């Protein structure tokens, strides 16, 4: 009896060994690799997944695999478009108004200067406003100095006539020039200088040139003002006849 069992187990193990080695494929079909893999449908699409990390449960592994499949199936995430920074063109920058270097207005008498300066306070110019004193001559006179008395003045008149000078008069109404001799009064210094040169050519050596009715006037200078301030200045000046001019 034991022999029957022994031989039965031996034959069974031998048959099982032969099956695994593929010796029985002719009777039972292909059952071992890689021949069995070739019979699968679309074997080229089969991919081997890495083994899950040790200590994780099967459920977690399946969840990770599902997540990987979902990530593979989801559309690609595109990077956000770069933020475009547009630079403001230099042409769009408002240019600063050009400042006027120096503007002068004058000449004022002292009372008018005080009134005009009060009105300029509205422009808030501070140190950019200054005033200067101008010595203004009313007219120019070519003359001979005082001779001391009438007799000496008469002698000088006779001398002038001998030189051919006939346009003159003896000064008597001016205490400072009394018994002097006026040889002409002129509005401009150039005209007075021309008269003096003429007298010198005629032989008159003692004639002089002097200013008459000299007066001190005031002129205002405004520096580094913008066009808007200049417009306000013109509005204030409208009530005054003084000239507006450039200065350095």
Neighbours of 65 (CB within 10 A): 12
**Residue 170 neighbours by CB under 8 Å, 6+ apart:** 150, 153, 157, 179, 180, 181, 182
| Positions of E strands within the chain | 100-108, 129-136, 139-144, 169-170, 181-186, 208-212, 215-225, 243-246
pLDDT at 57: 47
Per the model's pLDDT, the better-predicted residue between 157 and 135 turns out to be 157
Closest to 162 (Cα-Cα) out of 203, 208, 198, 196: 203
Cis peptide before 88 (omega within 30 of 0): no
pLDDT at 223: 93
Per the model's pLDDT, the better-predicted residue between 139 and 193 turns out to be 193
pLDDT at 39: 60
Most confident of 30-39, 63-72, 140-149, 167-176: 140-149
Neighbours of 222 (CB within 10 A): 22
Residue 94 has pLDDT above 90, yes or no: no
pLDDT at 21: 66
Per the model's pLDDT, the better-predicted residue between 28 and 114 turns out to be 114
pLDDT at 58: 47
pLDDT at 70: 46
Per the model's pLDDT, the better-predicted residue between 62 and 211 turns out to be 211
Confidence (pTM): 0.39
- The percent of residues in the chain predicted with pLDDT above 90, rounded, is 42
Angle between the N-to-C axes of helices 110-120 and 227-237, in degrees from 0 to 180, rounded to the nearest 10: 140
Distance CA 178, CA 157 (A): 14
pLDDT at 29: 55
Q: Lowest-pLDDT range, 53-62, 137-146, 188-197?
A: 53-62
Per the model's pLDDT, the better-predicted residue between 3 and 87 turns out to be 3
Residue 176 has pLDDT above 70, yes or no: yes
Residue 82 has pLDDT above 60, yes or no: no
Per the model's pLDDT, the better-predicted residue between 86 and 97 turns out to be 97
**Per-chain mean pLDDT for the chain:** 79
Most confident of 9-18, 84-93, 111-120: 111-120
Mean pLDDT of 179-191: 93
pLDDT at 46: 62
Per the model's pLDDT, the better-predicted residue between 53 and 124 turns out to be 124
């Amino acid at each position: 009896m034991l022999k029957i069992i022994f031989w039965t187990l031996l034959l069974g193990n031998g048959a099982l060994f032969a099956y695994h080695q593929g010796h029985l494929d002719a009777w039972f079909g292909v059952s071992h690799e890689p021949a069995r893999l070739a019979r699968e449908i679309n074997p080229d699409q089969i991919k081997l997944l890495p083994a899950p990390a040790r200590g994780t449960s099967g459920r977690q592994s399946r969840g990770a695999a599902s997540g990987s499949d979902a990530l593979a199936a989801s559309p690609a995430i595109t990077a956000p478009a770069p933020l475009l920074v547009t630079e403001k063109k230099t042409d769009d920058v408002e240019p600063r108004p050009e400042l006027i270097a120096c503007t002068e207005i004058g000449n004022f008498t002292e009372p008018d200067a005080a009134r005009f300066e009060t009105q300029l306070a509205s422009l808030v110019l501070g140190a950019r406003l200054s005033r200067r004193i101008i010595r203004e001559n009313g007219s120019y006179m070519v003359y001979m100095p005082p001779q001391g008395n009438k007799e000496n003045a008469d002698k000088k008149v006779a001398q002038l006539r001998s030189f051919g000078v006939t346009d003159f008069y003896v000064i008597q109404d001016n205490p400072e020039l009394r018994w002097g001799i006026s040889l002409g009064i002129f509005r401009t210094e150039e005209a007075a200088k021309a008269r003096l040169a003429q007298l010198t050519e005629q032989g008159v050596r003692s004639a002089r040139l002097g200013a008459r009715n000299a007066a001190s006037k005031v002129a205002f200078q405004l520096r580094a003002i913008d066009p808007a301030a200049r417009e306000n200045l013109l509005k204030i000046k409208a009530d005054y006849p003084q000239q507006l001019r450039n200065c350095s």
